[in-house]
Amino acid sequence: QIAIEAGYSPGYFTNVVAPELLERLSEVVGKRVTKKNCRLLLESYVTTQATPETKPVKQEPAESSAKINQEISPCYPSGAVPLDSPFYLKRSSCEEQICREITKPGALIRIKAPREMGKTSLLLRVLDYANNLGYHTISLNLQQVDQAILSDSNKFLRWLCANIAHQLQRKLMLDEYWDEDLGNKISCTLYFQDYLLESINAPLVLALDEVNQIIEHPQVAKDFLPLLRSWYEESKRLPIWQKLRILVVHSTEIYVPLELNQSPFNVGLPIHLESFTQEEVQQLAQCYGLNWGDGQEIGKLMAMVGGHPAMIHLALYHLSKGEITLSQLLDTAPTATGIYRNHLQRHWAILEKQPELVKAFDTVLNAAETVALDPSLSYKLSSMGLITLSGDRAIVSCELYRRFFTKKGEQNLFYTPTSLE
C-alpha cells in the first residue's frame, strides 16, 4: 500500500529497498542481518550501544558487501538458487517485467533460455512475489511426468488437472467433469472454468516448467499447446478466465507444427534470459568474496565459458574456496579432470546417442563462420546450450565446448558407426 501511494511498483520495496536496507544494517551491526534475525540482532545492538561500559564496535567506512559475504560459506552450486541465497544474481529488468505482467488479468508469459541459464531460479522468485500478493501459485515441472502419461493426451490433461487440484487442496472430482462425448480438451477446460477457477477468489498463477518435454510427444503437444492459447484468449471474453495467469518456461524454440492462431508462443509477454554480462559476473564475484576489481580475471574466465550462469557460479565457488587458482581452472577446464567434467560428460552422453546431432554439431565446430542447420537439430543443440543462434545461423556458444568436443573429434570419439553409414 505504501509503495503504491508513493508511486512505486508493489515489488519495489520487497525486491530493491529491503535487500539494500538489510545490507546496510549488516554493516552497522557487524553481523549478517536477515528478515528472520533482524529484530533480535537490532535489539541486541541497541542494548549494547546504550550500555556505557561497552565499547562500540568500530566499523570501517570502506567495508563492502563482498567482505561480509566472505563470512558466508557458499553451498555447492547445483540446480536452482534457493530463495534466501546471497549468491543469487537478480535479473532486475526481467523480474520486474514479469512481476508487473502477472498482476494483469489473463496474463501469459513465456520464459525462454537454454538449460542451466537460471530459468527455474527466476521462476522461484516470481512465484514468491505472487505468493506475497496473496495469489494462488501452482508450479509443475514436466520433467516429472511419466512417459506413459506424456504420450497420451487424455492421461496428460487429467494429470494436469489432478496436480493443480491437489496443490489447491481441492477434491479431485475429475470423473464428474470428464465427458468422452465432449472430448479431453473441453473436459479439461470445463474442469478449470467451472471447478478450479470458480472455487477461488484470488488469481491463480500456473507455472509450467520444462514445457519442451512434450516436444517428443507431438500428439500431446498439438492438443495441449493450443489449449493454453485458447485459455489465454478466453480471458478476453469471460471474466472468470482473467483469474488465470500462465507462465510457460522452456528451452529455446518449440518446433511443433501449429497454426499461428493456435500457438501460445506468439502471444503474451516473451522473456529471453541472456548470458551474464561482465558487470554481472563482477557483481557475483564480489558476492563470493573475490576482489576482481580490474576485470582481468573476469575477462579470462568469460573467454572460456562466456557468461553461462551455471558455469560462472561453479568457477566462482571453487575459486572462493581457495581450492584452485584461476590459471589452473582454465588450463584443466576442457579436460576430464577439470571442474566442468560432469557438465561436459553429461552433454557427451546425450550427443553420442544421437548420431544426427553429433554430425550437426561437428559441422558447427569445423565451420569458420556461422552455419545453417536443420531447425529440429539446431533446436536440440541450442536447448543444450552448445550453440548460439543468430536467426537460423549457429555458432559454438563458448570456447570450453569448442576445445572439449574438438578433442573428442581428434580422438575419433565424435562419431559412432551408425553416423558413418
Q: How many CA atoms lie within 13 A of 13 on its CB side?
A: 11
- Give the pLDDT of residue 136: 98
Provide the angle, in degrees to the nearest 10, between the axes of the packed helices 309-320 and 341-351: 150
Please give the average per-residue pLDDT across 289-306, as a whole number: 94
Contact 188, 223 (CB under 8 A): no
CA distance 98 to 104: 10
Average pLDDT over residues 80-95: 93
pLDDT for the residue numbered 417: 39
Indicate the pairing of strand 136-141 with strand 371-372. unpaired
* pLDDT recorded at residue 24: 65
Q: Is the pLDDT of residue 56 over 50?
A: no
How high is the mean pLDDT of the chain? 85
Give the residues across from 371 on adjacent strands. 394
- Residues 3 and 9: beta-carbon distance below 8 Å: yes
Report the 10 Å Cβ neighbour count for 388: 18
For the domain made up of 92-272, the CATH class stated in words is alpha beta
pLDDT at 61: 39
Q: Look at 138-152, 171-185, 299-313, 376-390 and tell me which has the smallest mean pLDDT.
A: 376-390
pLDDT digits (tens, 9 = 90+) for 315-354: 999 999 998 999 999 999 999 999 999 999 999 998 988 8
Asked if the model's pLDDT at residue 59 lies above 50, the reply is no
Q: Is the pLDDT of residue 420 over 50?
A: no
Domain ranges (residues) in the chain: 2-70, 92-272, 278-332, 343-420
Does the pLDDT of residue 151 top 90, yes or no? yes
Helix or strand holding residue 86 (H, E): none
Spatial distance between the Cα atoms of 182 and 417, rounded to a whole number of angstroms: 50
Q: What Cα–Cα distance (Å) separates residue 396 from each residue in 20, 355, 369, 404?
A: 38, 18, 10, 12
**pLDDT score for 181:** 97
- Give per-residue pLDDT as tens, 384-403: 999 999 888 999 999 999 99
Query: What is the per-residue pLDDT across 252-274, written as a single tens digit (0 to 9) for each?
Result: 655 555 555 566 777 899 999 99
Return the pLDDT at 48: 53
Mean pLDDT over 209-223 rounds to 89
